[in-house]
Amino acid sequence: MFKSLVDDVSEKVYNHMMVDWVAHKPRPVMHASLQNFVFDLGKEYKFFPQSEFTGSAGGRIDVVWFHKDDSKKPYVIFEIDSSIRKNSFHKLCDQDAEIKFWILYPRKEPNPYAVSNCERKHGLIIIYPEKFSERFPE
């Protein structure tokens, strides 16, 4: 279940993000759209989603999915950002969850080393657009 859930969620979130991306939606609209989509996706997978969850290290995490509605520990967490933010990175790394997604929709392509390092060393699953020139032409 673990691998197929990660792959399926990654694909669905990416496809949803690209619709907003190509439509040139403003950042706050994209954030709300992605947050609502991920919340609803949690229900589709029979999880108990919660928005703006206060994490173990303080800050709020955009969306979390619990196995049970009375659970204290999220199974899946999602942070949604318009750029790579140190705060978000620490929130994700400090939270005790099985699966951690970082959804990025930055103005410029993120540093490939930073993305690879976050994925490899910290187990984060990072989803971001692959073609930046289509969104923000020079």
Tell me what the pLDDT averaged over the chain comes to. 80
Q: Is the dihedral of CA 126, 49, 38, 11 positive or negative?
A: positive
Query: pLDDT digits over 29-67, tens only?
Result: 889 999 999 999 999 999 999 999 887 667 789 999 999
Mean pLDDT of 81-86: 81
Check residue 46 and give its pLDDT. 94
Q: How confident is the model at residue 71 (pLDDT cuts 50, 70, 90)?
A: confident
Fold of domain 2-127: Trna Endonuclease; Chain: A, domain 1 (3.40.1350)
Among residues 106, 102, 104, 105, the alpha carbon closest in space to that of 125 is found at: 102
**How many other CB atoms are there within 10 angstroms of residue 47's CB atom?**
21
Q: What is the residue extent of each domain of the chain? A: 2-127
Could you tell me the two tokens for 52? 């703006």
Could you tell me the two tokens for 18? 């690209």
The answer to whether the beta carbons of residues 51 and 38 sit under 8 Å apart is no
Strand partners, 53: 61
Whether the pLDDT of residue 132 is over 50: the answer is no
- % pLDDT > 90, the chain: 27
